[in-house]
């Protein structure tokens, strides 16, 4: 399908998908444009009004204290709050103690159900344990767990104690976990004996033990014993269950008051250098932003069962499994494992079984389902679904249309564009607006986003440009942990505006059509990877002397990694060398970073100053014009 942004007669004019009349009656926001215009006229008033509904230990002096010189945005400055008071205490006081907060389904299909009351109880016990260990506000805690209730409760207990969690995706290797711990210097690590995927046991504790050897800041490790409740632990390792037992009657733990500057979490993501950056979010702004986007974008009501297929190890899971939905008092479905195990109907089966109403997925997952075939969704009763979502990478219209068709042909799809840094949805439809397959439509209320040229001027409709945000928004990241310079760079690329690193076009109706990254970030199946990160893993292989990595379009995963490597002179070129190099990257970083293809080469294009020109490699690979090569050395 042509990109609708290319033609003046866009799809919006000819054939948008209009909302179902039944849906219109349930909407929190029935008139996007009026709300949007109002929100932009006075963003502080807009966000301040939303924040009024939360519990605060102390109200703010200013909704936004913005320093345009340092780009520091202190939302709700002067306030004291704790996000968990608004996720737990408030709901429990309002009578939701017995409401199901979390349904966790493990890889083998076994289920555990947690009410708001039970989450509060286990959170309190864990908070008492943290206090007993002497952990103090601001201390970092690394959480290396599969998607399980313990992962969610560990995050919430850290937040409640004023500790800063850094969740590391459980598919990462020891090397990736270690580098994240080296940067954040945690005092505590929380992990498990194992994770499960496709019926296979993954030895998580071995990875954690390998990674933690060199972490001198680490004092203790809490271990969840999933497989063997009697597993013997090493010195410094404490079983999770013993802590819960010990504090069974320690009672209520009052949430620690946090200011606008107190970090809630650090989440590592890839950038253009080899070192992942620790994106820092703080309590009050993140709370207000994730609450409202969850509510309005997914049209959340009391009876919703929300299923987001991400892992809480990524930002999508932070914002839209843990914080946003629980702030809204919703019921969340958390699934360990894989979409096609034990069979390709797994997710559809979960939708039917738990009467899921909102299903938030990713383009790669949808394309995988397309490949597996319609017969799978057709086997299940999906009539509980009201609304769908997509995130992580551009969704092609074919996948969008298929997703809608197999779920009954009437459901709105929210194609939500946002980032680890933004914390919340930024460009997204609201249910009720006309939808165009493949478009994230327009900015969320309160968000001033645009597509611009290098000078920061809006580009003409149909022209590609950089996606930027002109004004601060509540759940924006506050800094890059330990590297304020790197934070400022986001605002200096085009002075004074937030530079997202993405490109897009707006059509003649102002709708956004996302294109992809303009920097050295690759999106493989929606996972964000830096070329430099993968390259440094490649050159750490004893046979590799130099490496360059590009993202190559892929029908299923959006992009896959192709690596060009120059071998060392003394490297022995065995038939399995490419495979060994790929395996090596897997061991260094994790399976998601493993290149699909390795090309052994004698030469890499470079600038005269020696910088590898990945752009040229990519153009050659794809048979595209190489662009300006005047800086290319001979």
Least Å distance, CB 93 to ligand PRX, is 32
**C-beta closer to ligand PRX: residue 221 or 364:** 364
Distances (CA, A) of 1 to 7, 414, 437: 12, 20, 10
Least Å distance, CB 390 to ligand PRX, is 6
Tokens 């632990």, residue located:
233
Cβ atoms of 318 and 265 within 8 Å: the answer is yes
Least Å distance, CB 209 to ligand PRX, is 28
Least Å distance, CB 393 to ligand PRX, is 5
Cβ atoms of 459 and 452 within 8 Å: the answer is yes
Least Å distance, CB 417 to ligand PRX, is 4
Cβ atoms of 334 and 191 within 8 Å: the answer is no
**C-beta closer to ligand PRX: residue 225 or 517:** 517
Cβ atoms of 548 and 535 within 8 Å: the answer is yes
Least Å distance, CB 315 to ligand PRX, is 5
State residue 248 phi and psi, 5-degree precision. Answer: -60, -30
State residue 96 phi and psi, 5-degree precision. Answer: -95, 15
**C-beta closer to ligand PRX: residue 163 or 514:** 514
Least Å distance, CB 515 to ligand PRX, is 8
Least Å distance, CB 244 to ligand PRX, is 32
Least Å distance, CB 559 to ligand PRX, is 10
Alpha-carbon distance 490 to 472, whole Å?
12
**C-beta closer to ligand PRX: residue 107 or 393:** 393
Least Å distance, CB 591 to ligand PRX, is 16
**C-beta closer to ligand PRX: residue 269 or 361:** 269
- Torsion angle of C-alpha atoms 429, 430, 431, 435, degrees rounded to 10: -20
DSSP 8-state code for residue 447: -
**C-beta closer to ligand PRX: residue 96 or 515:** 515
Angle 141-226-586 from CA coordinates, rounded to 5°: 65
Helix axes 397-406, 363-372, angle to 10 degrees: 60
**C-beta closer to ligand PRX: residue 91 or 442:** 442
**C-beta closer to ligand PRX: residue 296 or 418:** 418
Angle 255-315-495 from CA coordinates, rounded to 5°: 105
**C-beta closer to ligand PRX: residue 17 or 418:** 418
Least Å distance, CB 314 to ligand PRX, is 6
**C-beta closer to ligand PRX: residue 239 or 438:** 438
Alpha-carbon distance 537 to 409, whole Å?
45
Count other Cβ atoms within 10 Å, centred on residue 537. Answer: 28
Least Å distance, CB 83 to ligand PRX, is 19
Which residue is nearest to ligand PRX, using beta carbons?
420
Count other Cβ atoms within 10 Å, centred on residue 464. Answer: 16
Alpha-carbon distance 307 to 289, whole Å?
20
Closest listed residue to residue 243, CA positions, set 130, 145, 142, 161:
130
Least Å distance, CB 511 to ligand PRX, is 13
Least Å distance, CB 394 to ligand PRX, is 4
Cβ atoms of 228 and 241 within 8 Å: the answer is no
Cβ atoms of 4 and 12 within 8 Å: the answer is yes
Beta carbons within 8 Å of 42's beta carbon, 6+ residues apart: none
**C-beta closer to ligand PRX: residue 284 or 389:** 389
Residues that bind ligand PRX (CB under 6 A): 269, 315-316, 391-394, 415-420, 440, 500-502, 514, 517, 523, 528
Closest listed residue to residue 422, CA positions, set 467, 472, 471, 476:
476
List the structure tokens of 414.
């929210």
**C-beta closer to ligand PRX: residue 187 or 478:** 478
Tokens 């797994």, residue located:
346
Distances (CA, A) of 464 to 83, 297, 491: 39, 26, 20
**C-beta closer to ligand PRX: residue 347 or 498:** 498
Q: Element (H or E) spanning 204, and its range?
A: helix 204-212
State residue 290 phi and psi, 5-degree precision. Answer: -75, -35
Cβ atoms of 358 and 325 within 8 Å: the answer is no
List the structure tokens of 621.
């690979």
Alpha-carbon distance 95 to 163, whole Å?
28
- By DSSP bridging, strand 164-167 and strand 387-391 are unpaired
Closest listed residue to residue 474, CA positions, set 49, 30, 28, 33:
49
Least Å distance, CB 22 to ligand PRX, is 26
**C-beta closer to ligand PRX: residue 48 or 285:** 285
* Peptide linkage before 105 cis (omega within 30 of 0): no
**C-beta closer to ligand PRX: residue 329 or 558:** 558
């Amino acid at each position: 399908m042509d990109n609708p942004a290319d033609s003046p007669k866009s799809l919006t004019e000819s054939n948008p998908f209009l909302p179902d009349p039944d849906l219109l009656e349930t909407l929190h926001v029935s008139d996007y444009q009026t709300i949007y215009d109002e929100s932009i006229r006075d963003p502080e008033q807009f966000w301040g009004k939303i924040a009024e509904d939360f519990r605060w230990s102390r109200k703010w002096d200013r909704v936004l204290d913005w320093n345009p010189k340092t780009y520091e945005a202190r939302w709700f400055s002067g306030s004291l709050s704790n996000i968990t008071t608004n996720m737990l205490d408030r709901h429990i006081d309002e009578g939701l103690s017995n409401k199901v907060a979390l349904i966790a389904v493990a890889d083998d299909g076994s289920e555990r159900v947690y009410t708001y009351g039970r989450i509060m109880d286990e959170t309190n016990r864990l908070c008492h344990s943290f206090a007993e260990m002497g952990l103090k506000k601001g201390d970092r805690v690394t959480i290396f767990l599969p998607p399980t209730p313990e992962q969610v409760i560990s995050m919430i207990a850290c937040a409640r104690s004023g500790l800063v969690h850094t969740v590391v995706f459980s598919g990462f290797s020891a090397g990736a976990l270690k580098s994240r711990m080296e940067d954040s210097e945690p005092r505590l690590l929380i992990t498990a004996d194992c994770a499960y995927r496709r019926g296979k046991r993954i030895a998580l504790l071995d990875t954690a033990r390998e990674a933690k050897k060199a972490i001198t800041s680490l004092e203790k490790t809490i271990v969840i014993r999933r497989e063997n409740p009697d597993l013997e632990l090493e010195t410094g390792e404490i079983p999770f269950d013993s802590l819960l037992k010990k504090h069974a009657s320690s009672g209520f733990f009052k949430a620690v008051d946090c200011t606008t500057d107190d970090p809630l979490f650090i989440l590592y993501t890839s950038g253009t250098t080899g070192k992942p950056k620790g994106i820092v979010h703080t309590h009050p702004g993140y709370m207000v932003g994730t609450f409202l986007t969850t509510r309005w974008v997914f049209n959340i009501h009391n009876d919703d069962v929300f299923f987001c297929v991400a892992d809480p190890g990524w930002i999508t899971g932070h914002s839209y499994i843990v914080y946003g939905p629980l702030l809204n008092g919703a019921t969340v479905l958390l699934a360990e494992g894989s979409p096609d195990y034990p069979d390709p109907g797994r997710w559809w089966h979960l939708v039917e079984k738990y009467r899921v109403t909102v299903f938030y997925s990713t383009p790669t997952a949808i394309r995988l389902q397309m490949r597996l075939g319609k017969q799978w969704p057709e086997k299940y009763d999906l009539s509980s679904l009201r609304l769908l979502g997509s995130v992580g990478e551009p969704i092609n219209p074919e996948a969008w249309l298929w997703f809608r068709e197999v779920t009954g042909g009437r459901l709105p799809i929210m194609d939500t564009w946002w980032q680890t840094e933004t914390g919340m949805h930024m460009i997204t439809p609201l249910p009720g607006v006309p939808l165009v397959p493949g478009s994230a439509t327009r900015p969320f209320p309160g968000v001033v986003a645009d597509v611009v040229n290098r000078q920061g001027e809006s580009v003409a409709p149909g022209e590609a440009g950089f996606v930027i945000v002109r004004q601060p928004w509540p759940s924006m990241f506050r800094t890059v942990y330990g590297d304020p310079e790197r934070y400022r760079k986001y605002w200096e690329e085009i002075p004074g505006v937030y530079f997202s690193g993405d490109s897009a076009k707006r059509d003649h109706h102002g709708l956004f059509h996302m294109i992809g990254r303009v920097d050295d970030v690759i999106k493989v199946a929606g996972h964000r990877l830096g070329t430099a990160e993968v390259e440094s893993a490649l050159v750490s292989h004893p046979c590799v002397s130099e490496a360059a990595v590009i993202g190559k379009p892929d029908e299923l995963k959006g992009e896959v990694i192709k690596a060009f490597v120059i071998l060392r002179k003394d490297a022995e070129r065995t038939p399995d060398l490419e495979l060994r190099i790929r395996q090596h990257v897997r061991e260094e970083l994790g399976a998601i970073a493993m290149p699909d293809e390795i090309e052994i080469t004698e030469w890499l294009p470079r600038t005269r100053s020696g910088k590898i020109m990945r752009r040229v490699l990519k153009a050659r690979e794809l048979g595209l014009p190489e662009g300006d090569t005047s800086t290319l050395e001979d």
